[in-house]
Structure 1
Amino acid sequence: MPMTRPPYPLFQVAVERVELITPHMKRITVDGRCLPDFRFGLPAQWLKVFVPLSDGQHTAGRAYTVRCFDPVSQKLDIDFVLHGDNGPISTWAGRARPGDPFEISAVHPRSGFAIQPSTERYLLLGDETALPAIGGILESLPGHARAEVFVEVADAAEEQTFQSAAAVNLTWLHRKESGTQVSGSLEEAARAVGWPDENTVIWVAAESSVVKSIREHALAVWGVDRKALHAAGYWKCGESDHRDEEGFA
């Protein structure tokens, strides 16, 4: 769908480098010097991406998490989940080549996940759409922290490797055998986790109904403090432009 120009500035960028991280995850690198308000050291910031259509118009913006922003080179990495031809931005990303132009917004001023030095334990749960944020969070954790991570992906080929100074226990959940977009394995993993202590921060991002279920379990069963729970539905089955009104994005 062609977009109506948003009431905030957009920045013209061009693809500088492409890398296929997994069969269905593509990294696109651009010059990020245009971004005025990026906060270095704050993982999981997001911005909106607008790509050109064949008629010269641009798509409506879709939110994407910044995977990495190098403070020295100012190169910005954005990871795109490739859904085949299901969606104009995914289609564009699958075919993108160096030199291809597109537009991005500034990062959202309320986006990002602050790492608190006093926090010792993190529980991170998500699907492949959450991997850019999860990767950024893990790479930002201090050496004294521990992170329990559960990620649902299609199969073993979609697994990634992350670097972290923290002690990380990463469990991959494969839904290939279920034949569905959402298998329920992420919810099962959450329910099998021991009750988080008061010094645990929980971060969840995945399909909206899955996140809602895990959020409710954390509040009702674990009794976690809402301030220690960060949860967002990054997408919703059957909707092309889902916006989570309860959590963060």
Structure 2
Amino acid sequence: MSKQIRKANVLSTKQITPHLQRIVLGSDEFKDLSTSYIGNYVKVLIPKDHKIDLDIKTACIRSYTIRDIDPENGAITLDFVINMHQGPATQWAQLVKVGDGVAIAGPGPKKLDNYDHGHYVLLGDLTSVNAIKAYLQLLPKTANIDAFIHVPTAQDIISLNTTRNVNWLVTSTPDKSMLNALSNLEISEQPPIVFMALEAGLVRKVKTQLDERFSIPRCNIVSSGYWKKGLNSERYKQLRQRDAELARIS
């Protein structure tokens, strides 16, 4: 990811569903951002006590997928999950006001980069819904796409600006619902490319099912555990950093 830090201001903020807050950020430093960056991620340097920390080493940082970009001025739209998990990013998203300042690092690349395949399986939740939105528009029109997104309420279903079929799983038991939905997948001779961005524990369960039931090779799976049940975002980030460091030195 580019380490460029851009200062921005909140242009609008609106709660669009029971669990999503949509925030539009604008800056003169966004003018180089075209609509080709929709679906890429940025890192938001969350202000503390209304003060912006521009140091990527010390700031509280969270990653968000770009939902939309205004082609005229580069303003970016991000959706923040609220009323589900506690943490500085959630609190900021709920309290932020128009005109408040913030800093953005990036954008970084899209997680999925194979757009020349015959079958894709896209799995997500509210944290990754906009990544799936972007892929639905980028993947081949001739490709078979199975998309599953679990949400806590029917009111959390949002427009993905696509004519592709999306299976919305409204559920209070996402692990069970997602695994049950996947059990009915129809796999051709060519294994699909799988993108999943879910709770870390569910990612592991889905990988196991894809391997044991469908023999989908791990090299066909692009996955991210965006959050972890039972841990606040700060503690989960610390554990991921620790695991990455252990993997680097082992």
Normalised TM-score (structure 2): 0.80
1:27 aligns with 2:25: no
The alpha-carbon deviation at position 203 of structure 1 amounts to 0.9
For the 8 Å contact 2:119–2:191, the answer to whether it is kept is: yes
Count of equivalent residues: 232
Please, what is the CA RMSD of the aligned residues? 2.8
Q: Specify every segment of 5 or more residues in structure 1 that has no aligned partner in the other structure, as ranges.
A: 1-6
SS in 2 for 1:133: helix
SS in 2 for 1:18: strand
* Larger fraction in helix: 2
Aligned pairs for 1:111-130 within 5 A: 111-114=110-113, 116=115, 118-130=116-128
Q: Which moved more, 1:89-98 or 1:137-146?
A: 137-146
The alpha-carbon deviation at position 219 of structure 1 amounts to 2.7
Hey, what does 1:4 align to over in structure 2? none
The alpha-carbon deviation at position 43 of structure 1 amounts to 5.1
Q: Which moved more, 1:88-97 or 1:135-144?
A: 135-144
Hey, what does 2:60 align to over in structure 1? 60
Aligned pairs for 1:167-178 within 5 A: 168-176=164-172, 178=173
Q: Which amino acid aligns with 1:228?
A: N
SS in 2 for 1:160: coil
The alpha-carbon deviation at position 15 of structure 1 amounts to 0.6
The alpha-carbon deviation at position 201 of structure 1 amounts to 1.7
Hey, what does 1:146 align to over in structure 2? 144
Q: Distance in 2 between matches of 1:225 and 1:72?
A: 42
The alpha-carbon deviation at position 111 of structure 1 amounts to 3.9
Task: Evaluate the alpha carbon distance shift between residue 57 and residue 35 of structure 1 in structure 2; reply closer, same or farther with a 3 A threshold.
Answer: closer
Hey, what does 1:99 align to over in structure 2? 99
Q: Which amino acid aligns with 2:187?
A: W
Hey, what does 2:225 align to over in structure 1? 233
Moved over 4 A (4+): 35-40, 243-246
The alpha-carbon deviation at position 51 of structure 1 amounts to 2.0
Task: Evaluate the alpha carbon distance shift between residue 235 and residue 107 of structure 1 in structure 2; reply closer, same or farther with a 3 A threshold.
Answer: same
Normalised TM-score (structure 1): 0.80
Task: Evaluate the alpha carbon distance shift between residue 10 and residue 147 of structure 1 in structure 2; reply closer, same or farther with a 3 A threshold.
Answer: same
For the 8 Å contact 2:37–2:66, the answer to whether it is kept is: no
